[in-house]
Amino acid sequence: MNRNNGLYLIIGALAVVVIGLGYYVYQEETKPKGIELNIGRGGVSIEEN
Per-residue pLDDT tens over the stretch 1-49 = 678 899 999 999 999 999 999 999 999 888 878 888 899 998 999 888 6
Count of alpha carbons within 13 Å of 49, Cβ hemisphere only? Answer: 10
For residue 16, which amino acid is it? V
Name the pTM for this structure. 0.61
> Which pLDDT does position 33 carry in this prediction?
80
> Which pLDDT does position 1 carry in this prediction?
60
Beta bridge partners of 20: none
3-state secondary structure of 35: strand
Q: Report the Cα–Cα distance between both ends of the chain, in Å, rounded.
A: 51
